[in-house]
Amino acid sequence: MKALSKFEVISYLELHLKNWTYDGEAIKRELKFTTFVEAFSFMTSVALVAEKMEHHPDWNNVYNKVQISLNTHSAKGITQLDFDLAKEIDKIYKHFE
Amino acid sequence: MKALSKFEVISYLELHLKNWTYDGEAIKRELKFTTFVEAFSFMTSVALVAEKMEHHPDWNNVYNKVQISLNTHSAKGITQLDFDLAKEIDKIYKHFE
Amino acid sequence: MKALSKFEVISYLELHLKNWTYDGEAIKRELKFTTFVEAFSFMTSVALVAEKMEHHPDWNNVYNKVQISLNTHSAKGITQLDFDLAKEIDKIYKHFE
Amino acid sequence: MKALSKFEVISYLELHLKNWTYDGEAIKRELKFTTFVEAFSFMTSVALVAEKMEHHPDWNNVYNKVQISLNTHSAKGITQLDFDLAKEIDKIYKHFE
């Protein structure tokens, strides 16, 4: 997996991942739920998908909020793998919106 | 918690828990999901709610199907606790329908 | 994946999966935990491993007990995939014994 | 629940929660696991316990590492509730050490 250029990352987010932002190091999304139960149920889905992809998020949870940060350590940047996981996360989140 | 009569159980299901059936020993519902990931994410929500209520389901899972059976061992029958958990389960399932 | 003969299944269990039994259709193990929390934490590990293997258990949980039944639907019998998942399950259970 | 003084927090950690540190705002512990599967299985146990206590952690996970930070928002400080959750977390972690 090859790290993408800043321009490539920004373009991809604009087209396919509108709810994600890019800070130069990782792509990020903050998600809100009604309860902790929903937040953790969401996290369980993401964990199952991430483990299968062998690509794991850097994430933080406080009660009903989950902050996710994705990048590819081995490539020292953003790769297609991050976009793929981000899309899966968006799909899972749709159940809870 | 007092065990309810068969008549009470059947009446309650008809009014409030239309997707549940009663076999004389437990109230039951079978739920279907698109994937195992969704089924297990649902189960995680139910686990969190059940542990908090200190009332746990007898449940079975195969891939995208979950069968749930509820009764109250200590009362040797169905109690309000089963109805409360069943209602929570229905609420959680709404996210996945 | 090819279904194994009864003899092959029984021999394998004797050598490598001593805590599993074979009923002619599936290989089975019943596991006990101290609490529901431990039982469900175990199930979460198994779910993550199973989803990654794309091979899922038929399992039942009541409070601190988990019954697991494995076979390979597509092969109409027991295959190496079942043995592999059973071994992973045994490894995960070691944390809770 | 009443916020404890800095002295009370430090004394309690020394006596009962040796693996936790206090930064003046929260008590913290960083935990390491062999795999993501173990880390997330641990998180599921903690989630079940936290939801039951109605007291939730501020936590971060990257692959096999989990960082936990506890305080009591409503009391604007550290309370006995944080110590209770920290002790439960230590107990759960014992399964994975």
pLDDT higher than 90, residue A1: no
Going by pLDDT thresholds of 50, 70 and 90, the confidence category of residue D1 is confident
Q: What is the DSSP string of C25-53?
A: S-EEEEEE-SSHHHHHHHHHHHHHHHHHH
Q: What 8-state DSSP symbol labels residue B54?
A: T
Q: What is the arithmetic mean of pLDDT over C84-96?
A: 97
Closest Cα in chain D to B54: D52
With beta carbons less than 8 A apart as the criterion, state whether C11 and C20 touch. no
pLDDT higher than 90, residue C1: no
Instruction: Give me chain D's average pLDDT, please.
Output: 97
CB contact under 8 A, D47 and B52: no
D30 in reach of chain A (CB within 8 A) = no
D44 in reach of chain C (CB within 8 A) = yes
C65 in reach of chain B (CB within 8 A) = no
pLDDT of residue D19: 98
Q: What is the arithmetic mean of pLDDT over B55-73?
A: 98
- C-beta atoms surrounding D7 within 10 Å: 8
Residue D44 Cα, gap to closest chain B Cα (Å)? 8
Closest Cα in chain B to C65: B58
Q: What is the arithmetic mean of pLDDT over C40-51?
A: 98
* DSSP-based three-state secondary structure for B61: strand
> Which chain C residues have a beta carbon less than 8 Å from that of D92?
37, 41
Q: What 8-state DSSP symbol labels residue C3?
A: P
Task: Please give the distance of CA D4 from its chain centroid, rounded to a whole number.
Answer: 16
With beta carbons less than 8 A apart as the criterion, state whether B72 and B80 touch. no
Interface test with chain A among D49, D63, D82, by most A beta carbons within 10 Å: D63
A59 in reach of chain D (CB within 8 A) = yes
Q: What is the arithmetic mean of pLDDT over C34-46?
A: 98
pLDDT of residue D29: 98
Find, among B16, B38, B20, B26, the residue nearest to B95 by Cα. Answer: B38
pLDDT tens-digit map of C6-22: 999 999 999 999 999 99
Place of tokens 């009663």: B22
Structure tokens at B21: 């059936």
Q: What is the arithmetic mean of pLDDT over D18-26?
A: 97
pLDDT of residue B1: 83
Closest Cα in chain B to A44: B41
* DSSP-based three-state secondary structure for A74: helix
With beta carbons less than 8 A apart as the criterion, state whether C85 and C57 touch. yes
Find, among A42, A97, D61, A57, the residue nearest to B48 by Cα. Answer: A42
pLDDT of residue A28: 98
Query: Which burial class, exposed, middle or buried, applies to C57 when counting CB atoms under 10 A from its CB (0-12, 13-18, 19+)?
Result: buried
pLDDT tens-digit map of A41-89: 999 999 999 999 999 999 999 999 999 999 999 999 999 999 999 999 9
Find, among B84, B87, B83, B43, the residue nearest to B62 by Cα. Answer: B43
pLDDT of residue C9: 98
pLDDT tens-digit map of C62-72: 999 999 999 99
Give the dihedral sign, CA A74/A76/A78/A80.
negative
Going by pLDDT thresholds of 50, 70 and 90, the confidence category of residue A20 is very high
Interface test with chain C among D41, D64, D85, D96, by most C beta carbons within 10 Å: D41
Cβ contacts of residue B20 below 8 Å, gap of 6+? B13, B27, B28, B29, B86
Pairing of strands A27-32, A65-70: antiparallel
Find, among A52, A56, A71, the residue nearest to A1 by Cα. Answer: A71
Q: Which long-range contacts (CB under 8 A, 24 or more apart) does C16-23 make?
A: C16/C83, C16/C87, C17/C83, C17/C86, C17/C87, C17/C90, C19/C90, C20/C86, C22/C78
Q: Identify the H or E element spanning A32.
A: strand A27-32
Nearest by CB: B61 against C36, C59, C63: C59
CB contact under 8 A, A56 and D62: yes
> Which chain A residues have a beta carbon less than 8 Å from that of D43?
43
CB contact under 8 A, C44 and D41: yes
pLDDT tens-digit map of D60-84: 999 999 999 999 999 999 999 999 9
> Which chain B residues have a beta carbon less than 8 Å from that of D47?
48
Nearest by CB: D40 against C36, C42, C44: C44
CB pairs below 8 Å between B and D: how many? Answer: 10
- Cross-strand partners of D60: A60, D67
Whole-Å CA distances, D58 to B25, C14, D23, D65, D68: 42, 46, 14, 14, 6
Residue with more model confidence, C92 or C1: C92
- Cα angle, residue B26 at apex, residues B22 and B29 outer, rounded to 5°: 65
Rounded (10°) angle between helices B36-53 and C36-53: 170
